[in-house]
Amino acid sequence: MRTTRTPHAISPPAAGVTGPPLDSEAVLRAGIAALADLDPVMARILAEGATPTLRKRAPGFEGLAGIVVGQQISTASAAAIRGRLVARLPDLTAASLDAAPDAILREAGLSAPKIRALRAAAQAVLGGTLPLDSLHALPADEAHRLLVAVHGIGPWTADVYLLFCLGHPDAFPAGDLALQEAARLADGLEARPSAAALTRRAEAWRPWRGVAATMLWAYYRVARARDGAPLP
């Protein structure tokens, strides 16, 4: 039986410190190197092959809408719905979605809850309570708070948007199951950490929590391949 280990105690940087935008391989490599210096666990999984590549999505309302569409459905289904949505609304903005009849959104394959979430997001953008154009300049925690204040946008969606659409280096989707499993394997834990426990663990990785997430996802793939398990 594997034993539970106590993660290395590392002093996090001062609150509000943010690294440069995660918009190039050079910044990604700088974050990886910083994490390897900060945390021996990160250094070890890097040595074991947890080398991520840069992943980016379109920013703005279109990018946020794409993530909302993809919540809790398969990648193939999400891609098909996004394709139909863009075909019906080629200029996918907050204004165009807000003006679109429900029938058009249903024809694209959107469920009633996702239509409500997208409309809430569009109205928040148009009303100024969700400033998508300036979220990149805010600390990850503040940007996250503004996103989850919108009905239908949960913590996972908020952090995935910050990380992949805005390249926020400190966004950390602690509720992601693959991320939790990777952390369990990396830290040698018997049980997968909860989102709250993983959030506490990630304090050690500021201001590079987003890079830590990409490393853990890469480690998840390495570990599954090593064990002969199929990748999702």
CATH number at residue 220: 1.10.1670.40
Chain segment 188-220, per-residue pLDDT in tens: 999 999 999 999 999 999 999 999 999 999 999
Confidence of residue 8 (pLDDT cuts 50, 70, 90): very low
**Model pLDDT, residue 20:** 83
Q: Where residue 159 sits, what CATH number does that domain have?
A: 1.10.340.30
- The domain total for the chain is 2
Quick check: 12 pLDDT over 60? no
Range of the domain at 218: 25-55+171-224
**Model pLDDT, residue 2:** 37
d(CA 197, CA 11): 17
Quick check: 9 pLDDT over 60? no
Q: Tell me, yes or no, whether 45 and 127 share the same domain.
A: no
In a domain, 217, yes or no: yes
**Model pLDDT, residue 75:** 83
Q: Tell me, yes or no, whether 157 and 208 share the same domain.
A: no
Exposed e or buried b per residue across 54-88, where buried means at least 16 C-beta atoms within 10 angstroms of its C-beta = eeebebbbbbbbbbbbbbeeeeeebeebbebbeee
Q: Find all residues with CB under 8 Å of 194, minimum gap 6, and list them.
A: 180
**Model pLDDT, residue 185:** 95
In a domain, 104, yes or no: yes
**Model pLDDT, residue 72:** 78
In a domain, 128, yes or no: yes
In a domain, 113, yes or no: yes
Quick check: 89 pLDDT over 90? yes
Average pLDDT, the chain: 89
Confidence of residue 226 (pLDDT cuts 50, 70, 90): confident
Q: Tell me, yes or no, whether 130 and 41 share the same domain.
A: no
Among 137, 166, 195, residue at a domain's last position: 166
Among 166, 190, 209, residue at a domain's last position: 166
In a domain, 35, yes or no: yes
Quick check: 16 pLDDT over 70? no
Q: Tell me, yes or no, whether 157 and 219 share the same domain.
A: no
**Model pLDDT, residue 153:** 95
Tell me which amino acid residue 9 is. Answer: A
Q: Tell me, yes or no, whether 112 and 155 share the same domain.
A: yes
The DSSP annotation for the chain comes to -PPP-PPPP-PPPPTT-----S-SHHHHHHHHHHHHHH-HHHHHHHHTT----------HHHHHHHHHHHTTS-HHHHHHHHHHHHHH-SS--HHHHHHS-HHHHHHTT--HHHHHHHHHHHHHHHHTSS-GGGGGGS-HHHHHHHHHTSTT--HHHHHHIIIIIS--TT---TT-HHHHHHHHHHHT-SSPPPHHHHHHHHGGGTT-HHHHHHHHHHHHHHHHHHHTPPP-
Chain segment 145-203, per-residue pLDDT in tens: 999 999 999 999 999 999 999 999 999 999 999 999 999 999 999 999 999 999 999 99
**Model pLDDT, residue 4:** 37
**Model pLDDT, residue 231:** 47
Quick one: which of 29, 58, 62, 6 has its CA closest to 187?
Answer: 6
d(CA 157, CA 180): 16
Q: Tell me, yes or no, whether 65 and 157 share the same domain.
A: yes
